[in-house]
Amino acid sequence: MYSIVTICLAKRCWPLNTYSSLRVYDCLHFIYRKCISALINVLYFILYTHYIINSGGDVKSDIDYVPEDVYDIGWLGYFIGKSKHLKNLYLYPLLHSSVGMYEALFFGVNNNKSIEKIEFRGIDLLGGKIFTMMEPFFKNNNNLTNIEIMHCNFGVEQCRALPSALGSINSKSLTKVRLKSNVISEEALADIITALSMQSHIQKIDIAENNLNKNGCMALSSLLSCSANELQNINLYATNMNDEGIDALVPALKMCDNLEVLNINGNPSVTTRGWQHLATILENPNSNIIYIDLTNNNVDNKALATFASRLSNNSSLKRLKLNTDWLSENRSSTESWLVLSEVLCNISSINSTYLSNHTLQCLGLTPSSNPLGHLFDLNDRVDKKDVAMIKILQYHNDFDMMPFFEWEFKVLPHVIKWFERASVIDYARGL
């Protein structure tokens, strides 16, 4: 089994192991004389799965090799391009980044077809030239599944080059795109999201900690509205959204049947009206959303009551995460908690109890501060028929059996079977 070895471009050399202590340019004479193939095999071993190019400012102890100049980086790019085993490539800041340095690297990297994940973290994008240089890589690598760009400064040229590079991806393998905490204009972010709409197989988009205005939300809405979209996870944490952004997203979110996770944590500019509008996405009978994160927002009793009422016919949402401090302080407030209690277990009739929500399991509260904890615990059970049965037995001790006898053999056998099943259920945990 091959080990994971990381390689770093740094200001100075750190202690190296047996293989990596040989500087590439020191090996050239040896290569020409005797064993090109032997060195290639060694480097294939080193580059088996994981490769990091980093600066000397934050070098971790697991870095095994530190190339020093353009000559070294060119050879490393060559071997990366030749590798059939490399899976992850991480590009961290170079100490003396230049067009020549990256040209030498990407001239070889562009030939690689095994990399599945590439990450750009805090690097100098050289006016967008990096993305232009890498277009052959994006176009020809059919195994690329994950692109991450974080803590980078996007100027005008970078904002033009990235959508062009994303548009050049012909593969259907790309499933995850992460654009987190970048310095980028709202209009440019909208252009990048628009370019992603051509990648119909994307399952996760993370644009956390960027400014997402109404135009950006409209671009994201267009992406969600594509009939072929497969989006399952959207992270909009701290994107400075407001009610207009929510209004732009809601119609598309209602139609996005594949969506499972929606994170809108940290957007305090959204008002009660915006949250009430967002709650309508739970009315979609084909909804598959299982997790919504609304922490660090201004979600008040009215908004929570709206979410609770929309859950009455929803059978997919398991976790609605809200501010735990606010929930604890307002757990005695009757409006939202009464509505939520009725949604989880409507005791007005046996039929209403049976049709209650048996799916929601969490609001983000600790058990000690959750007045509805016993109902959430019940909903945590896998068999929802058992959940409904336990709620009926708990809250309807004296229901009228006469109608069942009047219907005689049409219904009575089913009633008897129901009680037989109820008699063997381990529902003590729900009492």
CA nearest neighbour of 232 among 211, 253, 207: 253
Consecutive H or E run containing 309: helix 301-310
Q: Read off the pLDDT of residues 225-281 as tens digits, 9 standing for 90 and up.
A: 886 788 999 999 999 999 999 999 999 999 889 999 999 999 999 999 999 999 999
Task: Classify 81 as helix, strand or coil.
Answer: helix
The amino acid at residue 78 is Y
The pLDDT, as a whole number, for residue 19 is 37
CA–CA separation, 421 vs 414, rounded Å?
Answer: 11
For residue 73, the surrounding DSSP H or E stretch is helix 70-82
This prediction's pTM:
0.80
d(CA 409, CA 330): 50
Query: What pLDDT sits at residue 406?
Result: 54
Strands 233-235 and 261-263: parallel
Q: What is the pLDDT of residues 313-359, one digit of tens each?
A: 899 999 999 876 655 565 555 566 777 888 899 988 888 888 889 89
d(CA 280, CA 289): 12
- 278 near 244, Cβ under 8 Å? no
CA-to-CA separations, 403 to 12, 354, 394, 409, in angstroms, rounded:
86, 18, 21, 12
pLDDT at position 57: 43
DSSP string, 253-294: HHH-TT--EEE--S-TT--HHHHHHHGGGGG-TT----EEE-
Q: Output the pLDDT for position 330.
A: 59
- Please list the ranges in the chain whose pLDDT falls under 50: 1-49, 55-62, 64, 428-431
Torsion of CA 278, 282, 288, 290, to 10 degrees: 70
Under 8 Å CB-to-CB from 65, ≥6 apart: which residues? Answer: 5, 7, 8, 16, 20, 46
224, containing H or E segment = helix 214-225
Q: What pLDDT score was predicted for residue 296?
A: 92
pLDDT of residue 12: 35
pLDDT for the residue numbered 186: 86
Whole-number pLDDT of residue 319: 93
DSSP H helices, 83-213, are 99-109, 129-133, 135-140, 156-167, 186-196
Query: Cα separation of 186 and 213, whole Å?
Result: 6
Point out which residues pair with 245 in neighbouring strands: none
